[in-house]
Structure 1
Amino acid sequence: MRLSSALLLLSATLAPVCSGFYIPGWSVRSYKDGDALALSTNKITSPTTQLPFAYAELPFVCPVKKDGFGSKFGSRTIGLNLGEVLRGDRITISDYQLIMGRDEPCRYLGDREVNNRGVDRAIQLVKEGYIVEWIVDNLPGATSFVTVDKSRKYYAAGFKLGYVQEDKAYLNNHVTLVLRWRNQPEHNDRKVIVGFEVYPKSVSGPKGQCADSLESQKPFELRSLGGDETVTIPYTYSVYWKEDNSIEWANRWDLYFVNDEESVHIHWLAIVNSVVIAMLLTIVVAIVMLRTLSRDIQKYNEAGPSSDPEARKKAAQEAADEDEALEDVTGWKLVHGDVFRPPNMGGLFAPVIGSGVQLALVVVALIVLSATGVLNPSYRGGFISFGLFLFVFGGVFSGYFSTRVYKTFKGENWKKNALMTALIFPGFLFSSIFVLNLFVWAQASSTAIPFSTLLALLFMWLCIALPLVFVGSYFGFKRDPWEHPTRTTMIARQMPVQPWYLRPIPSVLLGGLIPFAVIFIELLFVFKSLWQDKSTYYYMFGFLGLIAGVLILTVMEISIITTYFMLCAENWQWWWRSFLVGAGSAFWVFLYSGWYYWTRLAVHGWVSGLLFFAYSALACCVYGVLVGTMGFLASYAFVRKIYGAIKAD
């Protein structure tokens, strides 16, 4: 969507339509007739596997020549940012000749002699449905489609490596490239690229030359070879330049999202669903917390030590006349001497809360930057790169809040707490990714993180993030601890038997079900973008921001309700429970990912399955820490408020 539409969505206005957004960069590349353009090959991806591969490294594609057309652009390998490397991009300039304004009805690129192993590899990749990603002027090559009502055209990034017909595999070794352009008067009538379409075809043309008629050519069938036998695969291409003044350069990415606009009403349904659930929960909180709790506090104060005997007797009689449910909700006053007792494993609790605050800042910043267009599809890898840098520099906030919580627990060794904050959660993520990367390395996939990149990530963690955590911890320890309205007794109060719904596992599962209901519709689009449309982009960040806001509100309210009922049951161990109840929806999200895997994906291979569930589990852990922290902070503020009201009176 454009910037104005994004801002409207963020402010929850009545904008009924959401379209793919693109904010142009600070420099527009323009060309004049006769200028050469580089066609870069990137990677191949498949919806049936989680293993992309570098196109230029495939054993059956036409290799680049030392003095080929692509050599005039300098280095063949394009420098990649950190996010591009982590998402598996491997961009190389090819020898396809693109000259602005010059059509090529059919041009010979070269031959590739392939042995039995290379042919079998090609057959495997074609049968697994791999999609090829090429790039011209920062636009991915696209397959063109029309909407169901045939009113609009839209793009799907990438084109098929080949196809299967009657159990036979055919390789697309000829491509027709259509580049759409328009004049730019503000650039001295030079031309800009507004569209890049690729139409693949399988042909078995004569070796070393281009076929006169592509339509009359038989498709190139891939057949397994025996022994030392080889086969020569010819590669040809056509280039056509089409003027198209219907597309502005600033909106040239919109065609990649036209098809997604058809589902905008579903996004609005997700928002309505989320708002309705949040409103119902808010009403419950208002009734239980504002009416029942305020009446409870009022009765307690009226029957307090400063009241006369008659008033205390009257209040006691009124309390006795209440039903059993009301008796249960007055038990929270009995644990005033234990409610702020530090939790078990407080040395772990504080670092987890610090990491949760750090993640919250990262997510908010990424959603805002994406919704306003600062991070856009043309900036490949920008989302991941910005996320990593925000996480690293967010260590200051992680250390600060972790130490504030730690000092509230009467902790003195702030350096140890800072070290645990910097190592526990980031170390868990880094070690998990490192182990999974071993499996990807074994498959020679382009998503295998190079050793130099691993060293760079390790340097960012230990040499930048860790010192920043210590800086934040230092300032956090200098601040006074949070004061609590009641004193903690020396001996802990014995807790009575808890109702089944307040036991750890049922309370966490039930508490997590409601926040999951808020997001499960939008999860379908997020999962589709991540696991199926690997060459496209999730762009509904305006909607995502609204749903995320409602989700956090829901998590806070459900954590407050659970904490309140625990205190009423004279259970003062609410610290970890408030966090776990807030994080409970992560369990349901992981179950949802399993459902999505079995019903929506057709993934082959145990490595791909392992990567799917492992990365889904990691994502759920990150999500759980984030929303769990929000739940704890809301519960902590609530507990301080209600016990502070009693103390004040």
Structure 2
Amino acid sequence: MMFSTPAKALLGALSLSTVVSGFYLPGVAPTDYKKGDTVPLYVNRLTPSSNEKSPELRSVFPFDYYHDKLGFCQPKNGPEKVAESLGSILFGDRILTSPFELHMGKNETCKKQCGPKKYKKKMATFVNRRIWQNYNLNFLVDGLPGSYVDNTGTEYFTQGFPLGYLDTPEPEDGKVPTPYLNTHYNFMIDFHEIPSRKGDPRYRVVGVTVQPESRQSREDNTREFGANCDSEEPVSLSEEHETEVLYTYSVYWRPSKTAWATRWDRYLGVENPNIHWFSLVNSAIIVIFLTSMVGMVLLRALRKDISRYNQLDINEDVQDDSGWKLVHGDVFRAPKNPMLLSILLGSGSQLFFMTGVTIAFALLGFLSPSNRGSLGTVAILLYTLLGFVGGYVSARVYKTLGGEAWKKNIILTPFLIPGIVFAWFFFLNLFLFMNQSSGAVPFTTMLALIGIWFVISVPLSFAGSWFGFRSPIIEAPVRTNQIPRQIPPSIGYLRPIPSMLLAGILPFGAIFVELYFIMNSIWFHRVYYMFGFLFVCYGIMIVTCSMVTILMVYFLLCSENYHWQWRSFFTAGACAFYIFLNAIVYWVSKLSLGGLTGNVLYLGYSALIGFLFFILTGTIGFFSSYFFVQKIYGSIKIE
């Protein structure tokens, strides 16, 4: 996915090789090197992760690579920022130049990076804490993230490699684990040769793996690269006295048959594909069963009801029957708070189209993984441009519901929901600033977002509202009575809370497994690239939300309760309750954050995600129910 500090890049899926052969999408053009050319290595933020010995997540704060207390080597002229996209900045990427010197095809062993660096007590405590929290370093070589190879030689398909390691994952027999800092990096870089017509071959980087080690290296000017890495004694930073550390690295170039076009395959392999297929089949079965049940029940019941009601109208001596026809004079009565409902539906429509188009772009491969933050950038721009849709839907729904405060509607539509989201995001961002996290969005970026919103989205929303209010209202197929009909008391599952809880669990069940992988991607900073599964799950969620809400609305109308508008919104929106509940279970079972700030951030971002899901699924439920109600009441004869 790539949501503020804990957000990770949710990047493109399938490659249309037959269509795009002959050109490259922006940001993914290959770079050719001659032998001996400098290959830049950039450093990114430090991110919390997990490993087999410590599977739980212990932090949610990313840190800048050049954080003062980390003490890493810097370039001679100081680090320089690398241009980043808006999405990359929002999601915490901080890409900077580094002092590492890599030359194409040139192997270099035990090369001094800098040092000795002196670690005092505060620095040692900070670094040891990050090692205990399983932080990863993230390097980029020619746009490829460095991956880690464990002692068994199995390559992980995740980005980053450990800052250090513990001699034991947990305290044993009262012994506190000793953290060891990785001070030596072995870069294994795969390259692919491109024949040249001039006889001067070119090379492309197609793979980067890093094997970090903890070594007490020492300076040795008699050696070619100024260091001696023969010692295998690990480095442990003392929290009692000063520790000197010499950082070194080695570079090994390996020829590879991997083509440049497929170099990302190792990072984008589907994790546990059998589980994904099982989830997809399970969700499809739920949809088929639910759709069949709703179809059979409603078609048989509605045909019988419509036939009976029409027969009753022909025979005037027969009294009207009970059921959903009895509320035909009230079913299109305006609900309470039509202003708020119309604004929620406008914002939900924006989210609906933004999510669908973004996933479709990613599925078609238009969001390259080497163009970091592209998915987030596209999502933000789409939501901004879809302000016209939000304004139009909000205005037309409000007009149809009989609203008269059109000026208030026009103003609140582009400001209410985005204002709540931005205020909550800004509040959580303050915690990141206080912890000096690289995930904190810079103030200038915040101002840029506000500027984009006011310059693009707000005018588009106003324009959409203008067209919405000028459009005719959606005519109801029946007339509304002047005096509201008395509603009998609801019993059992038709009461608001039981009906919402019962209906909300089905859409959640359809997306539960895919949601688990997305949450892992977000909080454990892994690449999520299974947009084929996500696209299908998104469609399944839409169908499930629609069907279950229609069924509940039908039962509600049969009980002579015509307050279906808000009920349909909350019934489908109840899926968000289960999403937040799932986040709580995930928090208890998978996380061990410690401290107030980390827990506030996790729960805060989970609540924000749940809020957006509530608006999205609620909008799907309302409009599906609205078209259903329009259809059934348009099919009966009313005198």
Q: Same fold (TM over 0.5)?
A: yes
Percent identity of the aligned residues? Answer: 39
Asked if the contact 1:110–1:208 (Cα under 8 Å) also holds between the matched residues in 2, the reply is no
Q: Secondary structure at the match of 2:308?
A: helix
Shift of 1:153: 4.8
Structure 1 residues 29 and 462: alpha-carbon distance in aligned structure 2, compared to 1, 3 A threshold? same
Give me the CA root mean square deviation.
Answer: 2.3
Matched to 1:205, the amino acid is: S
Structure 2 residue aligned with 1:279: 288
Shift of 1:92: 1.1
**Residue correspondence of structure 1 range 304-453 to structure 2 within 5 A:** 304=313, 306-307=314-315, 309=317, 312=318, 330-453=322-445
Structure 1 residue aligned with 2:147: 142
More divergent stretch after superposition (81-90 vs 429-438) = 81-90
Structure 2 residue aligned with 1:10: none
The structure, 1 or 2, with the larger RCO (C-alpha pairs under 8 Å, 6+ apart) is 2
Shift of 1:427: 0.6
Structure 2 residue aligned with 1:608: 598
1:252 to 2:263 alignment: yes
Shift of 1:641: 0.6
Shift of 1:136: 0.9
Asked if the contact 1:6–1:372 (Cα under 8 Å) also holds between the matched residues in 2, the reply is no
**Residue correspondence of structure 1 range 103-118 to structure 2 within 5 A:** 103-111=107-115, 112-118=117-123
Distance (Å, rounded) in 1 between the aligned partners of 2:410 and 2:243: 62
Matched to 2:277, the amino acid is: W
Distance (Å, rounded) in 2 between the aligned partners of 1:165 and 1:581: 51
Asked if the contact 2:220–2:228 (Cα under 8 Å) also holds between the matched residues in 1, the reply is no
Q: Secondary structure at the match of 1:55?
A: coil
Which one of the candidate residues 39, 60, 66 is aligned to 1:56?
Answer: 66
Which one of the candidate residues 209, 220, 229 is aligned to 1:197?
Answer: 209
Which one of the candidate residues 238, 246, 251 is aligned to 1:239?
Answer: 251
Q: Secondary structure at the match of 2:413?
A: helix
Structure 1 residue aligned with 2:577: 587
Shift of 1:502: 1.2
Structure 2 residue aligned with 1:466: 458
Distance (Å, rounded) in 1 between the aligned partners of 2:349 and 2:512: 24
Distance (Å, rounded) in 2 between the aligned partners of 1:87 and 1:208: 42
Which one of the candidate residues 206, 231, 240 is aligned to 1:225?
Answer: 240
Structure 1 residues 82 and 146: alpha-carbon distance in aligned structure 2, compared to 1, 3 A threshold? same
Distance (Å, rounded) in 2 between the aligned partners of 1:49 and 1:99: 36
Q: Secondary structure at the match of 1:495?
A: coil
1:183 to 2:193 alignment: yes
Shift of 1:165: 1.2
Structure 2 residue aligned with 1:288: 297
Structure 2 residue aligned with 1:15: none
1:265 to 2:280 alignment: no
Asked if the contact 1:142–1:155 (Cα under 8 Å) also holds between the matched residues in 2, the reply is yes
Distance (Å, rounded) in 2 between the aligned partners of 1:529 and 1:385: 18
**Residue correspondence of structure 1 range 515-530 to structure 2 within 5 A:** 515-530=507-522
Asked if the contact 2:112–2:226 (Cα under 8 Å) also holds between the matched residues in 1, the reply is no
Structure 1 residue aligned with 2:10: none
Which one of the candidate residues 28, 38, 41 is aligned to 1:39?
Answer: 41
Shift of 1:169: 1.4
Shift of 1:459: 1.4
1:165 to 2:173 alignment: no
Distance (Å, rounded) in 2 between the aligned partners of 1:357 and 1:523: 21
Shift of 1:215: 5.1
Which one of the candidate residues 95, 101, 111 is aligned to 1:97?
Answer: 101
Structure 1 residues 568 and 607: alpha-carbon distance in aligned structure 2, compared to 1, 3 A threshold? same
Asked if the contact 1:168–1:222 (Cα under 8 Å) also holds between the matched residues in 2, the reply is no
What residue ranges of structure 1 are gaps of 5+ in the alignment? 8-21, 320-329
Structure 2 residue aligned with 1:18: none
Matched to 1:604, the amino acid is: G
Show CA shifts across 1:440-480 (max 9, x none): 11100001111101111111223321111101101111110
Q: Secondary structure at the match of 1:239?
A: strand
Shift of 1:526: 1.3
Distance (Å, rounded) in 2 between the aligned partners of 1:333 and 1:308: 16
Structure 1 residues 140 and 58: alpha-carbon distance in aligned structure 2, compared to 1, 3 A threshold? farther
Distance (Å, rounded) in 2 between the aligned partners of 1:155 and 1:284: 42
More divergent stretch after superposition (183-192 vs 91-100) = 183-192
Asked if the contact 2:217–2:230 (Cα under 8 Å) also holds between the matched residues in 1, the reply is no
Q: Secondary structure at the match of 1:508?
A: helix
Asked if the contact 2:143–2:370 (Cα under 8 Å) also holds between the matched residues in 1, the reply is yes
Which one of the candidate residues 547, 552, 568 is aligned to 1:562?
Answer: 552
Asked if the contact 1:2–1:23 (Cα under 8 Å) also holds between the matched residues in 2, the reply is no
Q: Secondary structure at the match of 2:44?
A: strand
**Residue correspondence of structure 1 range 623-642 to structure 2 within 5 A:** 623-642=613-632
**Residue correspondence of structure 1 range 52-91 to structure 2 within 5 A:** 52-67=62-77, 76-91=80-95
Shift of 1:308: 6.4
Q: Secondary structure at the match of 2:166?
A: strand
Shift of 1:5: 10
Distance (Å, rounded) in 2 between the aligned partners of 1:215 and 1:114: 22
Asked if the contact 2:237–2:243 (Cα under 8 Å) also holds between the matched residues in 1, the reply is no
Show CA shifts across 1:310-357 (max 9, x none): xx48xx8xx7xxxxxxxxxx4211111110011000010000000110
More divergent stretch after superposition (51-60 vs 213-222) = 213-222
Show CA shifts across 1:194-237 (max 9, x none): 011111111112246568764533111111135xxx33211111
Asked if the contact 2:219–2:227 (Cα under 8 Å) also holds between the matched residues in 1, the reply is no
TM-score by length of 2: 0.90
Q: Secondary structure at the match of 1:53?
A: coil
What residue ranges of structure 2 are gaps of 5+ in the alignment? 1-12, 50-57, 169-176
Shift of 1:155: 3.3
Distance (Å, rounded) in 1 between the aligned partners of 2:507 and 2:496: 18
Distance (Å, rounded) in 1 between the aligned partners of 2:301 and 2:248: 78
Distance (Å, rounded) in 1 between the aligned partners of 2:519 and 2:402: 43
Shift of 1:546: 0.6
Q: Secondary structure at the match of 2:179?
A: strand
Structure 2 residue aligned with 1:19: none
Structure 1 residues 64 and 391: alpha-carbon distance in aligned structure 2, compared to 1, 3 A threshold? same
Structure 1 residues 274 and 512: alpha-carbon distance in aligned structure 2, compared to 1, 3 A threshold? same
1:545 to 2:547 alignment: no
Q: Secondary structure at the match of 1:387?
A: helix
Structure 1 residues 566 and 30: alpha-carbon distance in aligned structure 2, compared to 1, 3 A threshold? same
Structure 1 residues 174 and 219: alpha-carbon distance in aligned structure 2, compared to 1, 3 A threshold? same
Matched to 1:289, the amino acid is: L
Asked if the contact 1:154–1:257 (Cα under 8 Å) also holds between the matched residues in 2, the reply is no
Show CA shifts across 1:406-440 (max 9, x none): 11012233231121111111011000001111111
Matched to 1:576, the amino acid is: W
Distance (Å, rounded) in 2 between the aligned partners of 1:405 and 1:333: 24
TM-score by length of 1: 0.89
Structure 2 residue aligned with 1:477: 469
Shift of 1:3: 2.5
Structure 1 residue aligned with 2:171: none
Asked if the contact 2:147–2:161 (Cα under 8 Å) also holds between the matched residues in 1, the reply is yes
Asked if the contact 2:330–2:481 (Cα under 8 Å) also holds between the matched residues in 1, the reply is yes
Distance (Å, rounded) in 1 between the aligned partners of 2:582 and 2:407: 40
Distance (Å, rounded) in 2 between the aligned partners of 1:23 and 1:267: 29
Asked if the contact 1:42–1:56 (Cα under 8 Å) also holds between the matched residues in 2, the reply is no
Which one of the candidate residues 444, 455, 471 is aligned to 2:447?
Answer: 455
Asked if the contact 1:516–1:588 (Cα under 8 Å) also holds between the matched residues in 2, the reply is yes
Shift of 1:83: 1.0
Q: Secondary structure at the match of 1:378?
A: coil
